[in-house]
Structure 1
Amino acid sequence: MTSAPAERRLFAILLRLFAAVALTAMFAIVKLAAAHGVTLFESLFYRQALALPLVLGVIAAGPGLGSVKTRRPWAHVWRTVLGMTGMALNFLTYLLLPLAEATVLLFTVPIFATILSALVLKEPVGWHRWSAVMLGFIGVLIVVRPGGGGLVPHGVAVGLLAAVVVSGVSITLRQIGRTESASTTVFWFTMLSAVPFGLAMPFLGKPHDATTFGLLLALGLFGGLAQLALTASLRLAPVSVVLPMDYSSLVWSALIGWLVFATVPSPHLWLGAPLIIASGLYIVYREQKLHREKTTGAVATD
C-alpha cells in the first residue's frame, strides 16, 4: 500500500487542527448556553438536530444519499447509544470543570481504549503500552491532585467516565468500520439521535431569547463541522499522522477559558498534561507499529 501524497497529509492535518478548534468552541458554547438557561438535554438535541442538514448536504454532494444504506442497523443503534452517552458526559464535564482541565481529562481516551481492548476484545497488550497507561494515570493524578484542593471530585469522576465511554465508542467504530463507510456511520449516528430527541423536545424543551438561540445554532454548526472534519481527516491520512493534532485543543481551551470565562489553568495542569499526551501518542505509535508488522507478515506469507 502506497503512502498518502504529502499534500493530502497536509490537508488532513489542517482539517484535524480545524476540528480541534471547532470542538473547543462547541464545548465553550455549551458552558455559555447553560449560563443562559439551556439544559443539558437541549444542548444535546440542538447539537445533533442542527448538524443534521449539514451532514445530509455533505453526503448528498459527495457519495450520495444512497451510500447510507446499511445491513447493520443494530450496530448503528448501539453506536448511537454509546455516542450520545459519551456526548452527554462530555458536555457535563465541561459544565462542571474549567475548559482546559476538562480537555486534559478527555485526553485519557487512548489510555482507556487500551484497557478496554485488553479486557473486552482480549487483544494482546504488551509492556510498552501498559507502561504508557501507567504514565498517563500519573499525569491524571498530577492534574487532579486528589486530596490537595484540586478539581471538584464529581467533575473529575464524570470526566473520567466520559473518557471510558468515548473509548468504547472508538472500539465500536473500529468494528463497524470494517463494513461501513465513515459517512454512513456519521449519518446514522446523527439521524438516530436527533429523531428521538426531537420527539421529546415538546416535553423537555424551553423557549429562549434570540441570543440564546444564536448560541444553540453555533453549537450545532461547530459540532457538525468538527465531526465532518474529523471523519475527512482519517480518509486522507493515517491516524498516527492526524491524531497528534487533537492535543492542540489544550491551547485553544486554555485561551478561550482565559478570554471568555476568566479562568487560568493551574501549574499542575501544565505538569500533568504532557505525561497524558505522551502516553496517548505512544499508545497510538505502538498500535500503528504493530499493525504494520502484522500487515507485513501477512503479505510475506501470501
Structure 2
Amino acid sequence: MAGVMQPAQRPIYALGLRLLAMVAISVMLLLVKLTGEHGIWLPETLFWRQLLPGLALSGWLAARGEVGRLKTDRPLIHARRALIGGLGMFLTLGVVQILPLAEATVLGFTAPIFAVLLAVVLLGEKIGAWRWTAVLLGLAGIVIIAGPDRAHLPLIGLATGIGAAFMVALISIQLRDLGRTEKPVSIVFWFSAFCTPPMALFMLWTGLPHHDLAGWAMLCGIGATGLAAQLLMTAALRYGTVASVIVMDYSQFGWATLWGWLVFAHVPPAQTWIGAPAIIAAGLIIAWREHVRGSGAGPRAPSA
C-alpha cells in the first residue's frame, strides 16, 4: 500500500527472534508433558492454553482502541478452522504426553511433507522431482525412527504424532485461504474464541479443586509461552522472510532433546538420530522449493 513504511529487513535479528520462539514452544511442550504427569487432563490444559492468550490479545487490542481489527465477514470459515485446529492442537499436545519429547517433536517436522501431498489432492498443484524426493526422504525418516522395536515408540504414540503433523498441514491449507482476507491477529483471536467454549465443558468433569500451586504455575506457563511463541514468530517475519528464518524451527529438536535429558533422563536411541536428519532435510528441501516457486510470483498468502 502506498505511503506505508515497511520494516527494514534485519536477518540476524529475525533469526534470533525465531530461535527464541522455538525455545518458547519447546518449554510449552515440556510443561504440557509435566501437566500430564501432574494429573491434569489434556482438555483442561488445552482450555487454559487457549483462554489465556485470547484474553491477553483482546485486552491488548482494547487498550490500543483497535478492537475493530477483529471484525470478520467469514465467521463460518473461522469456525471450520477452529474445529480442525482444535483437533490438531489436541493431537499435537497429546503426543508429548505419550512419547518422549525428542521423538514427539521430530514427528511434528513431517507436517511439510503432508502439506505437499495435500496441495496435490486439494489444490491440484503440480509437484516436481525436488518435492517428491523430499516426501520420500521424509517418509524414510519416519520408517527409520519407528523401527522394529516398539518399546521406545508405541504404535499409539506414532499414530498420534503423524496425525498431529497431518492436521497441521491441513490447517496450513486453511490458513492460506483465510490469509487472503483476514489479518493475522483476527485469525489468532477467532481461533481462541471458537475453541475455548467447547473446551470449557470439560471443566465440569475435571473441576478445579485438585490443582495445587505447581499445577496452576504450569498452566499459566503454558499460556504464557504459547503467546510468547506466537508473538516472536510474528515479529521474526517482520524482519526476515520465511525462507531465511525457517531453519531455526529445527532447533526445537535440540531443545526437546535437552529438556528430555535434564527432566526425564531420556536420551533418544540411535534410530532417532538417524531418522531425524532425514525428516529435517526433507522439510528444508520443501521450504527451499517453496521459496524458489514464490520468488517473483507476486504476493502470497501469509501462513502461521
TM-score (norm 1): 0.91
Match of 1:224 in 2: 227
Match of 1:277 in 2: 280
User: For the residues of structure 2 that align with 1:271 and 1:112, how far apart are their CA atoms?
Assistant: 21
Match of 2:19 in 1: 17
Answering whether residue 174 of structure 2 is matched by residue 172 of structure 1, we say yes
User: For the residues of structure 2 that align with 1:21 and 1:216, how far apart are their CA atoms?
Assistant: 17
Answering whether residue 214 of structure 2 is matched by residue 211 of structure 1, we say yes
Match of 1:145 in 2: 147
Higher-helix-fraction structure:
1
Match of 1:234 among 214, 232, 237: 237
Comparing 284-293 with 250-259, which one deviates more in the overlay? 284-293
Comparing 149-158 with 278-287, which one deviates more in the overlay? 149-158
Match of 1:120 among 115, 119, 122: 122
Comparing 28-37 with 49-58, which one deviates more in the overlay? 49-58
Query: What is the CA distance between 1:4 and its match in structure 2?
Result: 6.6
User: For the residues of structure 1 that align with 2:276 and 2:65, how far apart are their CA atoms?
Assistant: 39
Structure 1 residues 67 and 295: alpha-carbon distance in aligned structure 2, compared to 1, 3 A threshold: closer
Query: What is the CA distance between 1:191 and its match in structure 2?
Result: 1.6
Match of 2:107 among 80, 105, 108: 105
Match of 1:31 among 33, 48, 51: 33
Match of 1:91 in 2: 93
Structure 1 residues 61 and 283: alpha-carbon distance in aligned structure 2, compared to 1, 3 A threshold: farther
Query: What is the CA distance between 1:59 and its match in structure 2?
Result: 3.6
Match of 1:300 in 2: none
Deviations 1:239-268 (A, max 9, x none): 111211110101110000011111111121
Query: What is the CA distance between 1:160 and its match in structure 2?
Result: 0.2
Match of 2:50 in 1: 48
8 A Cα contact 2:44 2:200, kept in partner:
no
User: For the residues of structure 1 that align with 2:241 and 2:64, how far apart are their CA atoms?
Assistant: 21
The count of aligned residue pairs is: 295
Deviations 1:24-68 (A, max 9, x none): 111111111111110011110011112222222444466821111
Structure 1 residues 62 and 126: alpha-carbon distance in aligned structure 2, compared to 1, 3 A threshold: farther
AA matched with 1:139: G
Deviations 1:94-116 (A, max 9, x none): 01100001000000010110010
Query: What is the CA distance between 1:278 and its match in structure 2?
Result: 0.8
AA matched with 2:105: T
Structure 1 residues 220 and 132: alpha-carbon distance in aligned structure 2, compared to 1, 3 A threshold: same
Q: How does 1:125-204 map to 2 (within 5 A)?
A: 125-147=127-149, 150-204=152-206
Query: What is the CA distance between 1:287 and its match in structure 2?
Result: 1.2
User: For the residues of structure 1 that align with 2:116 and 2:63, how far apart are their CA atoms?
Assistant: 36
Match of 1:299 in 2: none
Match of 2:251 in 1: 248
Structure 1 residues 179 and 87: alpha-carbon distance in aligned structure 2, compared to 1, 3 A threshold: same
User: For the residues of structure 2 that align with 1:136 and 1:61, how far apart are their CA atoms?
Assistant: 45
The alignment yields a C-alpha RMSD, in angstroms, of: 2.2
Query: What is the CA distance between 1:269 and its match in structure 2?
Result: 1.3
SS in 1 for 2:297: helix
User: For the residues of structure 2 that align with 1:292 and 1:233, how far apart are their CA atoms?
Assistant: 19
8 A Cα contact 1:55 1:228, kept in partner:
no
SS in 1 for 2:268: coil
AA matched with 2:130: H
**Structure 1 unmatched runs, 5+:** 297-302
User: For the residues of structure 1 that align with 2:63 and 2:246, how far apart are their CA atoms?
Assistant: 27
TM-score (norm 2): 0.90
Comparing 202-211 with 72-81, which one deviates more in the overlay? 202-211
SS in 2 for 1:71: coil
Query: What is the CA distance between 1:230 and its match in structure 2?
Result: 2.2
AA matched with 2:143: L
Match of 1:71 in 2: 73
